[in-house]
Structure 1
Amino acid sequence: MKKQYDVIVVGSGGAGMIAAITAKKLGFDVLLLEKLSSLGAKLKATGGGKCNLTNTLSKDDFMNSFGRNGKFMMKAINMLDKNDLREFFSSIGVQTDTKDGFRIFPVTHNSSTIISALQKELERLEIDILCDCKVDRLLCDNEKITGVQTQKGNFEAPHIIIATGGLGFPMLGANGDGYEFAKELGHKVTDLYPAMLPVYVKETWVANCTADTIAKAIVRIDLKKAKKLKAVGDLIFTSKGLRGPVILDFSREITPLLEKYDEVPLLINMVKGKSEDEIFQHLKKQGTLKPDVNVVELLSTLLPVSVSKELCLQVKANLDKKFKDQDGQIRNDLVKIVANTPFTVTDSVGFKKAMITRGGVSLKEIDPNTMQSKIVEGLYFCGEVMDLDGPCGGYNLQWSFSSGYLAGHLNK
């Protein structure tokens, strides 16, 4: 294998592979390095193995979903948006669909389809690929990139694209080496936290509700400094905690607080935002329409039976009595706990199963028009290694592909 290239791409996730393909199509001589024995390991796990590529949001709505840093991706998204991405995959033999009108998947709903197609395109373009090759450090001279030092020798190139991902799923190769490369060359890396992951809670009753999903649950953090934070989406109970899209999205706000407070109190409205008064009026009306049902059966007009029973037990309601026959304080407590069900997050699954990393290389030190470092000439970043993460639903993978595509242009 040669020792000199125009560009070396470090990491073979979605961002790295599309960066290598883009650079090669523009006439650059490319080397793709991967420390594992095969390409796209983490990509294989994306979207539960179904590979949610992107979604149907407009460009503005898509960027706004990333919060205040969303505008950083404007040039990348304008160069490769959802339609461009679908056309690209169609050109390499992958058709896509959107059965729910929002999330876009390969029609096979299998991430192996995406990995296989990208690998075939890399091979068709005759891009040099070296697996089982860990990069130890980046080589730099007078603030200009000159190459990489690896366990298989040094390789020279005036352009290096870092596409190493974050810290999530270490069994799939994530170890944060991209952050270390950046710091060694003078870049700031913000605090790193696991995101898009389930959480554990103190409340043991959740184990009795694992068969049910709560639609459009509203989750808030019950801490003074986090009162304004909230998320809406489907909630799923696990044997030891909470998951589902709403928790996966909101976990990026929870994990930094866990580090600070050890426990994070949540309040969850599981009745589509109904207020205490609306809940009381609903129960009163249903009690009139169904005068013979007990309190659990009545509450199950709002919530699954399993959850209704557990909430009744939490306020010490008599399960055999009707709602109107309960003690007045118990009726009030039941309405309150339905409107704002308390949970106490005690831990998360951590980076071991975190789909995304919150934090990364500071965006202030990266040119959004090229993805090139503002500190080191010839150094580029793309994908999760940067301080930019979005919710679940195809956001992060679209960003990986778009940023990789832009980085692959190398200012050309």
Structure 2
Amino acid sequence: MTIHLKLLLALYQVTAIYQLCWALSPPSFRIAIIGGGSSGVMAASSIKKSVHRDVLPSVDITVYESTKDVLRNIRNHHQDGILYDASKTPMDVLNAGYPRGRKEITSLMTKYFPPMQQQKWFEDRGVEFRTRQDGTMTCSDGNASPVISALLDDQLRETIETNARVVSISKDDETGCFQLSVNGRQEIHDCVILATGNSYLGFQLAKSLGHTITKPVRSCFELVLKDSNILSSMEEGGTYDLPYVRLSYKVAIKGQKRPRIIRSEGPARLQLYNSQVLLTGIAALSLSSVAAFELKDATYKGTLLIHFCPDHLGGKVENLEQFLWQYRQDNPNEIMGERCPLQFANVDYDEYDWETESFKSITTDCIPQNLWRGLVQESGMAYDSTWSKVNPKKCRKLAESMVGCSLEFRGRNTCSMYPFIDAGGTSLREVDMNSMQSKVVDGLFLCGQVLDGDASHSCFSFMRDLATGKMAGESAVLYAKEILLSKNNNITY
């Protein structure tokens, strides 16, 4: 027993001496974060918290932002949504918002920093959200200040250098340090987090360190549809919501008989603006993301198939045909053009029923009236006729139009709501997605939109930035601890 006590006392003394030496002369470790967007600032915030928790006063960080202010995208686009319906399962969010790169971020978005935890992270810092009908979550007061304050406290502001343009980066193999050229001066750092978004310079920095870059092309855009009889009933300035659709786009593959079919599902919207019919919404933006390169090659011209009710009756035309014929039998005197007989139930997050302890449900037509009239006319019937006039052949044609409506598109519209989303970037195969550390360069971490992959809406892009940024920051601190311990073990006292 006495021997054990002596050993414990000796261990305690050694530990005390170690801590004293560390405090008197701590080895320094410098982390550079290139980019002051949502991923870069989240990385810096995570580093600060981890350093404070692990008592690592010798770790210093500097955030280099090339413009005059940080978090510009959140400031400019917070009204489009910061998060997406955190009440949904993480996989539902992944399937809805990440057409490209979904597999690689699954662990981050389901286990590490899922939507519900992201919401709680902000709410713990005073942010209040409201969920809109389309599932996007915005600040309750419509102001971005609470979100910015949550990400950027006063202590963190001191680490940020604005108007600081990093034009080159290299790594010294002997010292293991990174040399950055910032506004004409040289800065030395032990670790670098690349969070430059989809900027050309950011991709060049990654490429100069040995990473493979897929040349970015524009994604998440609206499609401009050609005029057709189906769209003829739309009114100028009108907006027509499609609660849930499936979009299909066929791509011819050289050397193969069968084309590749690219699909996307979700809510969509038709708008008639300046005599142009625009197809937008999550379904359209997702398709433009998945097929970004193929659409570019086709000069944004082609044919689209729209299934207006894929989640009804198994999505099969035969089942829909039976349903419509039965509806004719039950409602022979109803005017056909009055409304679509299929309904879609949606959750109203602004109305909570305290008696049933649930949110109220809103029922809407699967196909809005003006578009429904166009489908009826396309099937060879007058929209002001009664259902009793429908014969089996026309009933079948109407069912086919509902599950496979063919519409041509003749261009794209890069609306101002989604100006910063591109497909392409640093290859995900070259990044360890469990730590966001480069597999090519030791001590280099990447996060946010500098990575390949895509999001179908600005809120999904923010969520991806937050998850990858948080992981990059925490992993950089673990990397720093390993280096500092290695340096400390080489110190003679």
- Shorter-chain TM-score category? 0.7 to 0.9
- Residue number in structure 1 paired with 2:304: 266
Once the two structures are TM-superposed, the CA of residue 106 in structure 1 deviates from its matched residue by: 4.1
Give the Cα separation in 2 of the matches to 1:86 and 1:299: 37
- Residue number in structure 2 paired with 1:250: 287
Name structure 2 gaps, 5 residues minimum.
Answer: 1-27, 52-56, 252-257, 343-364, 482-493
- Residue number in structure 2 paired with 1:190: 214
Secondary structure at the counterpart of residue 467 of structure 2 = helix
- Residue number in structure 1 paired with 2:408: 344
Percent identity among equivalent residues?
Answer: 20
Opposite residue 438 of structure 2, the aligned amino acid is S
Name structure 1 gaps, 5 residues minimum.
Answer: 167-174
- Residue number in structure 1 paired with 2:353: none
Using the TM superposition, name which of 50-59 and 97-106 deviates more.
97-106
- Preserved CA contact (<8 Å) 1:139 1:148: yes
Give the Cα separation in 2 of the matches to 1:35 and 1:57: 36
Give the Cα separation in 1 of the matches to 2:123 and 2:405: 46
- Residue number in structure 2 paired with 1:14: 38
1:134-173 to 2 correspondence within 5 Å?
A: 134-142=165-173, 144-151=176-183, 153-166=185-198
- Preserved CA contact (<8 Å) 2:81 2:137: no
- Residue number in structure 2 paired with 1:334: 398
Deviation per residue, 1:42-83 (Å, 9 max, x gap)? 123446444226734555666677478545346645443445
1:235 alignment partner, one of 249, 268, 278: 268
- The answer to whether the aligner puts 1:397 opposite 2:462 as a matched pair is yes
Once the two structures are TM-superposed, the CA of residue 345 in structure 1 deviates from its matched residue by: 3.0
Opposite residue 248 of structure 1, the aligned amino acid is L
Give the Cα separation in 1 of the matches to 2:220 and 2:381: 36
- Residue number in structure 2 paired with 1:44: 75
Opposite residue 89 of structure 1, the aligned amino acid is F
- Are the structure 2 counterparts of residues 271 and 68 from structure 1 closer, same or farther at C-alpha, using a change threshold of 3 Å? closer
Q: CA RMSD in A?
A: 3.5
Give the Cα separation in 2 of the matches to 1:197 and 1:213: 17
- Are the structure 2 counterparts of residues 217 and 81 from structure 1 closer, same or farther at C-alpha, using a change threshold of 3 Å? closer
Once the two structures are TM-superposed, the CA of residue 98 in structure 1 deviates from its matched residue by: 5.2
- Preserved CA contact (<8 Å) 2:332 2:387: no
Give the Cα separation in 2 of the matches to 1:308 and 1:214: 11
- The answer to whether the aligner puts 1:220 opposite 2:220 as a matched pair is no
- Preserved CA contact (<8 Å) 1:193 1:357: yes
Using the TM superposition, name which of 152-161 and 399-408 deviates more.
152-161
Deviation per residue, 1:352-402 (Å, 9 max, x gap)? 734532222112222223322222233221011112334448543222112
Deviation per residue, 1:16-65 (Å, 9 max, x gap)? 10111222331421111222222111123446444226734555666677
- Preserved CA contact (<8 Å) 1:54 1:398: no
Give the Cα separation in 2 of the matches to 1:397 and 1:250: 19
Aligned length: 398
Deviation per residue, 1:260-294 (Å, 9 max, x gap)? 33333221121344533344334433334443445
Greater gyration radius? 2
Question: Which structure has more strand as a fraction of its residues?
Answer: 2
- Residue number in structure 2 paired with 1:171: none
Deviation per residue, 1:128-174 (Å, 9 max, x gap)? 222222222223333955232233633321222111112xxxxxxxx
- The answer to whether the aligner puts 1:309 opposite 2:342 as a matched pair is no
- Preserved CA contact (<8 Å) 1:19 1:408: yes
TM-score, with structure 1 as normaliser: 0.82
- Preserved CA contact (<8 Å) 2:82 2:463: no
